[in-house]
Amino acid sequence: MGVKTHKPYTPTMRFQVTADFAELTTETPHKPLLSPMKKTGGRNVHGHITSRFMGGGHKQMYRHIDFYRRDKAGIPATVQSVEYDPNRSARISLVQYPDGEKRYILWPDGLAVGDTVVAGDEAEVTVGNAMPLRRVPPGQMIHNLEIQPRRGGQLVRSAGSWAIIQAKEGDVAHVKFPSGEVRLVGLDCWATIGQVGFSEHKSLVLGKAGRSRWLGRKPHVRGVAMNPVDHPHGGGEGKSGQGNPHPVSPWGWHTKGRKTRNRNKYSARLIVKRRRS
């Protein structure tokens, strides 16, 4: 499991770093858990672009991931495979329950084919098991964390990420996230033990523009390269900064330094330490 470099047979391969996919055990996904995905190109129902620089990319099938795991509490499942998921940076595992049902879960580091995972209040604190935070000891790495009980895991789901419980106080736990932020999370919220697998994802290097296009990412055009009708920074003879104006968006909003977060957010009171001092 890791990454690999390539001999520079072409200029684009000189700096390219790709995954070796050694951790994968199969190339064929479980078809009953797949759904087709329709690409939007960044457009809304009216055909207007609402997210710029999106479009193209390879066709993908969505894998239905079980972020909830509460409805199978107390039932052990056996890991069948470790698979690639084109919709996320992490790898996924196919698990099978005694009744024959199969589900996908996020693949944590250290989980192998044939291992058993279980969810519930009585589950052991081992890699791949899911349980409430009140059952997780401080200092334990967790992922797939719920924000509110019974909502399913929404936090700490990308490749190589993990959070850690620093302390417990009353009905809440102090959880430190990968960004450095410390937040209060209710002890009734569930999380999965361990670190999300494939931590080498941060070492990947696309190496060429074409690989970005395969991912559905179009080139990000600078405002100074546009015409005045398209951007406030556009126009001028040659390369013109127009007197070094403050950076703004195409609609004139300040884009650097101005705070955009709503101060009346309900969750703001749950932040103990912000990721930026």
Residue 106 lies in a domain: yes
Count up the domains in the chain and report the number: 1
pTM equals 0.90
Q: Tell me the two tokens of residue 104.
A: 């996908």
Separation between Cα atoms, residue 163 and residue 139, nearest integer Å: 9
Residue 104 lies in a domain: yes
Q: Could you list the residue range(s) of the whole structural domain that residue 40 is in?
A: 25-202
Query: Which is nearest to 97 in space by CA: 109, 80, 113?
Result: 80
Residue 18 lies in a domain: no
Residue 224 lies in a domain: no
Residue 234 lies in a domain: no
Residue pLDDT, tens place only, 84-141? 999 999 999 999 999 999 999 999 999 999 999 999 999 999 999 999 999 999 999 9
Residue 60 lies in a domain: yes
Confidence tier at 241 by pLDDT (50, 70, 90): low
How buried is residue 263: exposed, middle or buried, by Cβ count under 10 Å (0-12/13-18/19+)? Answer: exposed
Cα maximum dimension of the chain? 71
Residue pLDDT, tens place only, 34-92? 999 999 999 999 999 999 999 999 999 999 999 999 999 999 999 999 999 999 999 99
Q: What is the CATH number of the domain that holds 30?
A: 2.40.50.140
Instruction: Return the exposure string of 107-145: e unless at least 16 CB atoms fall within 10 Å of the residue's CB, then b.
Output: bbbebeeeeebbbbeebeeebbbbbbbebbeeebbbbbb
Residue 143 lies in a domain: yes
